Amino acid sequence: MWKPDRHNPKPLYEQIADHLEQRISYGEFPPGSLLPSERKLAEQLGVNRSTVILAFGELRSMGIIESRPGSGTRVSKFKWGAVPKHTPNWKRYAEGGSFLPNLPFLRRIREALQQNPALIDFASGELSADLAPIEEMTELMGTNPYPSYLGYGHPQGYMPLRQAVASYLDRYRGIQATESSILITSGSQQSLYLITQCLLSPGDAVAIEDPSYHYSLPMFQSAGLRLVRLPADEEGILPEEIRSLHKKHRIKMIFVNPNFQNPTGTLLSDDRRGALLEVASELGLPIVEDDPYSLTDYEGIPRSPLKSMDRVGSILHIGSFSKMAAAGLRVGWMVAPHSIVERLADARQQMDFGLSVIPQQVAARFLESPYFEPHLHRLRTQLRRKRDLLVEALQQELPDSVRFHVPQGGIHLWCRLVPSVSDAKLLEEAIKKGVVFVPGSVYGSDSGYVRFTFGRAKAEEIGPGIAKFAEALRGLTDSFPTVKKAK
C-alpha cells in the first residue's frame, strides 16, 4: 500500500494528488468512477483529512475529478485534458462510420497486386499505359500549363470542360445538353456516390442488372439501399421483368450499364432500350445510365444512349474519361435536370469543394484537340486486338472448360467455367501461378464465373496469362484435359 514520504520536500497533499492522478491515468479509476471518501483515504494513507481535502482540491482544479454534494468525488468524464496521455482506440474508430469495407475478394486482389507487381493483371478495370494518350496530354499542357487563376472552381465544374463535354455529348452520343445541365465529377464512381447518397434514402429499393458492377460496390449497401436484381441474357436486361419487381419491391431507381456491360460485356439490344424507356416512363422511374464504355465499340459505331431517346426526362446519364482515355485523370460527368445538378453540386461542395481545375483543364483541351479522334481509333483497334488474343488463348488453353460470348467493345470478357470450381480456391491458385482475375461472385453471380479484363494487361502478356490461369484451373480438378498449345 503506497504511503506519502514524510522526508520528501514535496508537500504531502501534492504527493497524494500525483499518486491519485497516476492511478486514474492507468485506468484504475476510469472516467466517471467514484473515488474513496476523504475520510477513508486519510485513514488509508495515514494523514489528516485536511491533507486529502487539499489533494482533491488540486485534482479538481486540473479538471481531473469532480465533487457533488451528496454523491462523493468522481473521476471527471469530460475534462481529461490534464490527465497523462491515452492512445485512442483506433481499431474501434476504424470499424465506425457508415461505409462498409470493400468486398474481401477485391481487397485480396489489390493486396496481391501490391505485393507482386509482376502479376499478369486481368482484374483491374483500366487501360494499359500504351493505350492512354499521355504524350498528347503532355504536349497539350506544355504550351500553357496552368489556368490564369487557381481558386476554388465553379460548383458544377470548370466551365471550358463543361462546354467541351456538351459538344462531345452532341457529337459522339447524340445528347443535347447545356453547360448548366452538366456536373463534372471525379469519375463515374463519384456520380454514383452522389446519386446514392443525395437522391435516395435508406430502405429504398434500387434495381440493378444481374450480374452487375454495381453489386460490387458496398457503397449501395452503405447508403442503406435494397438491391433488386434484374434478370439479363446476352442482349442485356429483360425490361418486362421490371413491372412485377416494382410491384413487389417498390423500386425507386434503375441502374443500367447498357454498353459493353461490366462484367458481362453485353450490349443492350435496340428493342430492349425502347422497352426499358417505355416501362420506366410508365412507372415514373428514373434510370441511371452508366455509360463509360460506349466509345470503345470496335466497329466505331456506338449505340445510341438511352439519354438521346429520352422524351420525358427520366434519365441521369453518367460518363467518364476512365475507360476511353485515362482512369488516373479522375474526370467524369453527369447530365441531369438542372435541379438535380444544383442539388448534387451543393452536396459536392460540402464534400471536397470540387475537383482540381488542373485535370479538368487537361480533359477539356484533350476533348477539343485534333488528337481525340485518332486516339479513339487507335484505342478501338488495340482493344479489339487484345480481345482477339484473349479469345484465342482461351480457345487454345481451355477449349472444353470455358463458355463465353465474344464482346464487340469494352474491356471485359465474362466466362463460365465448366465444371464450376470454388472462386476462392481458384483465385488463390491463380495468384500463386502469377495471374489475377475477378471472381464472378463479386458481381453477384454464382461460383464458377470469371471476369477477364483485357484492357490493363499488355498484349504480349495475354497468352502467357491465360496459360497460367489454365494451369491454376487444372490444378484444382483432374477432370480438365491437358491441352497442348498449338505452335
Ligand X SMILES: Cc1ncc(COP(=O)(O)O)c(C=O)c1O
* CA distances to 14, 59, 66, 73 from 33, in Å: 22, 15, 10, 9
Q: For ligand X, how many residues bind (rule: CB under 6 A)? A: 13
Number of residue whose CB is nearest ligand X? 187
Question: Distance (Å, rounded) from C-alpha 479 to C-alpha 465?
Answer: 21
Report the nearest approach of ligand X to the CB of residue 487 (Å).
36
Identity of the residue, 414 or 480, whose beta carbon is nearer to ligand X in the bound complex: 414
Side-chain-facing half-sphere of 361: CA atoms under 13 Å? 16
332 contacts ligand X (rule: CB under 6 A): yes
Identity of the residue, 262 or 441, whose beta carbon is nearer to ligand X in the bound complex: 262
Binding segment for ligand X among 77-85, 187-195, 199-207, 272-280 (CB under 6 A)?
A: 187-195
Identity of the residue, 35 or 165, whose beta carbon is nearer to ligand X in the bound complex: 165
Binding segment for ligand X among 181-189, 300-308, 368-376, 426-434 (CB under 6 A)?
A: 181-189
Side-chain-facing half-sphere of 365: CA atoms under 13 Å? 21
- As given in the structure block, the three cell numbers for residue 84 are 497523462
- As given in the structure block, the three cell numbers for residue 462 are 495475354
What is the per-residue binding string for ligand X in 296-315, x denoting contact by CB under 6 A?
A: --------------------
Binding ligand X by CB under 6 A: which of 51, 73, 266, 322?
322
Report the nearest approach of ligand X to the CB of residue 368 (Å).
20
Secondary structure E strands in 265-338: 287-290, 315-320, 332-335
Report the nearest approach of ligand X to the CB of residue 465 (Å).
19
Question: Distance (Å, rounded) from C-alpha 9 to C-alpha 135?
Answer: 76
- As given in the structure block, the three cell numbers for residue 117 are 507487381
Secondary structure E strands in 18-139: 65-68, 72-75, 120-121
Contact positions with ligand X (CB under 6 A) in 117-146: 125
Binding segment for ligand X among 21-29, 49-57, 73-81, 319-327 (CB under 6 A)?
A: 319-327
210 contacts ligand X (rule: CB under 6 A): no
Question: Distance (Å, rounded) from C-alpha 456 to C-alpha 11?
Answer: 73
Q: Tell me the backbone φ, ψ of residue 108, rounded to 5 degrees.
A: -65, -40
Binding ligand X by CB under 6 A: which of 51, 156, 181, 189?
189
Binding ligand X by CB under 6 A: which of 29, 158, 168, 213?
213
Identity of the residue, 29 or 298, whose beta carbon is nearer to ligand X in the bound complex: 298
- As given in the structure block, the three cell numbers for residue 127 are 487501360
* Furthest C-alpha separation in the chain: 99
Q: Which of 444, 446, 441, 437 is nearest to 473 (CA)?
A: 437
Report the nearest approach of ligand X to the CB of residue 332 (Å).
5
Contact positions with ligand X (CB under 6 A) in 224-263: 257, 262
Identity of the residue, 75 or 362, whose beta carbon is nearer to ligand X in the bound complex: 362
Binding ligand X by CB under 6 A: which of 187, 239, 407, 465?
187
What is the per-residue binding string for ligand X in 257-296, x denoting contact by CB under 6 A?
A: x----x---------------------------x-x----
Binding ligand X by CB under 6 A: which of 225, 327, 393, 435?
327
CA 282 vs. chain centroid, Å, equals 32
- As given in the structure block, the three cell numbers for residue 218 are 458496398
Identity of the residue, 17 or 192, whose beta carbon is nearer to ligand X in the bound complex: 192
- φ/ψ region of 29 (left if φ > 0, alpha if ψ in -120 to 50, else beta) reads beta
Task: Quote the Cα angle for 399-403-408, to 5°.
Answer: 110
Question: Distance (Å, rounded) from C-alpha 31 to C-alpha 153?
Answer: 47
Report the nearest approach of ligand X to the CB of residue 208 (Å).
11
Identity of the residue, 51 or 264, whose beta carbon is nearer to ligand X in the bound complex: 264
Q: Tell me the backbone φ, ψ of residue 24, rounded to 5 degrees.
A: -65, -45
Q: Are 380 and 235 in contact (CB under 8 A)?
A: no
Which residues lie near ligand X (CB under 6 A)?
125, 187-189, 213, 257, 262, 290, 292, 320, 322, 327, 332
